[in-house]
Amino acid sequence: MNYLHHGQLRAPISDVHELTNLLRQMDFKVVSLLDLNFQEMHSAVTEFLLLLDKGVYGLLYYAGHGYENYGNSFMVPIDAPASYTSQHCLCVQNILTKMQEKETGLNVFLLDMCRVRNPNDDVKVQPGLLKVTANIVFGYATCVDAKAYEVNREDVANGIFINFLKQRVCENEKVTIMLDRVAEDMGRCAIARADVDVDLKQSNQETLLEAGSLLLIKEELRCPDVPSLYTRIHSLQRLRRELTFTVCLHYTYANMDEEVEEKQPVTVGKPLVSKLNLYEPRTPRTCSASSFTSVSSSFVEEFPSVSPTSNTWPYYVESSNIDSLTSSRSANVPEECDSPDLYDAPPSPVSSKSWPHGQMNDANYRFSDMSNFNSY
């Protein structure tokens, strides 16, 4: 991640790629974005909220710089100034408030960031009226008032949090139990507590290939005999018009000395991330709970199945009820397992089906689809 005024992060590229693949293998609708400034991050959250509806499961994963003040977590965009405050960042609890207004079935937040206090920010942000419900789950990369770390070692492809999360995320277990096991695994990890070279939120690899990314880079993949035909395009979310390439072909005939040049423009349209028009302001630059407003979106049209009648399996389902779920298309409001107070158990998002409210006390939520799981 290319922060303008803070340390650069490379590991989130491979982490986002890893988690995206796992969620898609479980039939989730996933959109991954990198290097977002404040406006783009704000717009992306607004678009995300438009996908949610009654009974939908929502999951939001964030990897990058962040901090926590007075129980509120803040995500830092790449254009945040050196001495940033809550006015330059997005408050996670504000997002949760708007998700609750959608009557979502499950809200999951996976925050791969630091949780130390911000000495430049003494403002207590009021995220609005948060409901104390049992369908809120938070997964953190570190404990309260602590920093998140990444390890510089050749045998580690991902950040510490994702390295352990990817081993557990498809377990047939409650999400809270799964995240507890991830935390236990991290506590026993030698590279997280032993004498190793640890950099604060710095990349554990020097290149995208070493980080396990499938993004191909011309300089990295040059073949000794055949020139590389791959390159990487940055910041596609800022594309305002259709993407057009000009293909140039240079060749000579056997009986000619002069080189012949042919050019052909190729239009590939606008990638999905650019269709969001994240550069367009949605609301005034504020961290209030009312800062996320409902607007029309072409993004929703790309995912017509994300609705109360979606066939996508929920993140957690009771294995004994899978058959009954396939025959039921009702939009109900499930609640995820037993949970302490709102600030004792963190939130999280995803999307799919749900149970009648009356069945929630006896229901155990489990990951339902592990048939296509592949670790890297």
pLDDT tens, position by position, for the chain (376 residues)?
788 888 888 788 889 989 999 998 888 888 888 889 999 999 999 989 998 999 998 999 999 999 999 889 999 999 999 999 999 999 999 999 999 999 999 999 999 999 999 999 888 877 777 888 889 999 999 888 888 877 666 666 678 899 899 999 988 888 899 999 999 988 887 766 644 444 444 334 344 444 444 343 334 444 445 555 556 666 777 778 888 888 898 888 888 888 888 999 988 887 777 777 777 776 544 444 444 444 444 455 555 444 333 333 333 333 344 344 444 434 334 444 443 343 344 444 443 344 444 444 444 444 444 433 333 3
Residue 317 and residue 57: Cα distance in Å, rounded? 11
CATH 3.40.50.1460-classified regions of the chain: 11-214+280-362
pLDDT for 152: 62
DSSP state of 87: G
Structural element, H or E, at residue 177: helix 175-188
pTM of the model: 0.61
Residue found under tokens 């999905």: 272
Pairing of strands 260-269, 66-69: unpaired
Q: How far apart are CA 376 and CA 361, in angstroms?
A: 36
Residue 67 and residue 201: Cα distance in Å, rounded?
12
What is the domain class of 11-214+280-362 according to CATH?
Answer: alpha beta
**Minimal CA–CA distance to 156: which of 129, 132, 186?**
186
Tell me the catalytic residues. Answer: 65, 114
User: Following DSSP, what letter does each residue of 275-332 receive, concatenated?
Assistant: HT-TTS--S-S--SGGG------SHHHH-TT-STT--SPPSSB-GGGHHHHHH-----
Which region, left, alpha or beta, applies to residue 217 given φ > 0 means left and ψ of -120 to 50 means alpha? beta
- Residue 74's DSSP bridge partners are 67, 91
Give the gyration radius of the chain's Cα atoms.
22
Q: How far apart are CA 77 and CA 363, in angstroms?
A: 38
What the block records as the tokens of 88 is 């330059």
